[in-house]
Amino acid sequence: MAEEVLSSGFALAWPWLLLLAPLPWLLRKLLPASPSGDLQALRVPWFGAVAGQQAGWMRRPWLAMMATLIWLLLVVAASRPQWIGEIESVPVTGRDLLLAVDISGSMDTQDMFLNRTAVNRLKVVKKVAGEFIQRRHGDRVGLILFGSRAYLQTPLTFDTETTATLLDESEIGLAGRETAIGDAIGLSVKRMRDDAAADRVLVLLTDGANTSGEVQPLQAAEFAARDGLTIYTVGVGADEMMVRDFFGSRVVNPSADLDEDTLRTIAEQTGGRYFRARDVASLEKIYEILDELEPVESDVEIIRPVDELFFWPLGVAFVLAVLAALFSIRPFSGRRLTA
């Protein structure tokens, strides 16, 4: 804006443009009239009929007033009318936080319970991690989904509600059925490499081992440590699960493929921690601990929202111009023009 606005309400960003309002009147008064002359470059037998239709259209008072109003509306639109809102405080921490969530085929294992109903692992992660994201007001939060490949679902943004919504809309196998942990870390390093945030954090959640991708997890962890990216790893999945087969029921370990050693090493190399989530309660506790380890600061940034209103006078001017054009044109009905 051209100047600081101390109070809320209506304002003009470029009020000096209002000085252009009398410009048409000044031009009409100061510039000499065009010579009338009787010379004609081309003789048109029906010129009189055309001239009669158009001559003196500005002499119609209502049309002249409409043209004046259109000009004034254009000047007002050019001066950028705005509505200045009340001062708002936005919490800012200077922290960038990425959440990398495994959506491979194994996340469809139904070894957890939500409201006493057996559900798959991803459904539990959506609920708990979604609540965690929405608590991070003041952080820029992003979302990476990975399976056989890693994809950036949401770039770093203060819009935590949208990030949580996109996590909730994720589906098993959307990024492939295998698990590319190294690629997820590598993508996180790439996205945060040019960020100027003081704290850069990755929370990586998986239920398996690295079975796909172009980058090995420990190699990616070295890159992360070199760039100052802290990684908290979370291994999800129950230790016991009752399954039925041809011989009856038996207890199995649905998390047998979870590579806890690698996840623990990744966390240690980058200054983070490894957590084990065996049920909903333990996963909720992990995210509470993460809130304590990476707290949301109380620093705030003062902003004043500004809504641009120029399109209102501009739109009215356009409608009036169309109406003036329609009412000023009269068809040559009842007159026959001959060459």
**120 located within any domain:** yes
Q: Which pLDDT value is given to residue 49?
A: 47
Indicate whether 70 and 128 sit together in one domain. no
Between CA 306 and CA 303 the distance in angstroms is 9
Does residue 156 lie in a domain region? yes
In a domain? residue 29: no
Does residue 32 form part of some domain?
no
- Are residues 292 and 264 part of one domain? yes
**Nearest-10 Cα torsion for 168, 173, 179, 180:** -80
Residue 330 has pLDDT above 90, yes or no: no
Q: What percent of the chain has pLDDT over 70?
A: 81
| Residues 94 and 145 reside in one and the same domain | yes
Task: Report the number of distinct structural domains present in the chain.
Answer: 2
- Establish if 138 belongs to a structural domain: yes
Q: Which domain holds residue 112?
A: 90-300
pLDDT at 198: 66
H/E stretch holding 150 reads strand 150-157
In the prediction, which pLDDT does 252 show?
Answer: 79
Task: Evaluate whether residue 159 is within a structural domain.
Answer: yes
Residues 72 and 114 in one domain: no
59 has pLDDT over 70: no
Question: pLDDT digits over 218-255, tens only?
Answer: 999 999 999 999 999 999 988 877 777 666 677 778 88
Residues 68 and 126 in one domain: no
CATH number at residue 162: 3.40.50.410
> 0.85 exceeded by the pTM?
no
Q: Indicate if 201 and 168 belong to the same structural domain.
A: yes
Residue 161 lies in a domain: yes
The answer as to whether 54 is a domain residue is yes
Question: Within this chain, do residues 211 and 234 fall inside the same structural domain, yes or no?
Answer: yes
pLDDT digits (tens, 9 = 90+) for 70-118: 999 999 999 999 998 887 766 555 678 999 999 999 999 888 888 888 8
Q: What is the pLDDT of residue 296?
A: 65
Which tens digits make up the pLDDT trace of 251-279? 778 888 899 999 999 999 999 999 999 98
Q: Which long-range contacts (CB under 8 A, 24 or more apart) does 186-189 make?
A: 186/150, 186/214, 186/215, 186/220, 186/223, 187/144, 187/146, 187/150, 187/151, 187/152, 188/98, 188/100, 188/144, 188/224, 188/229, 188/231, 189/220, 189/223, 189/224, 189/227, 189/229
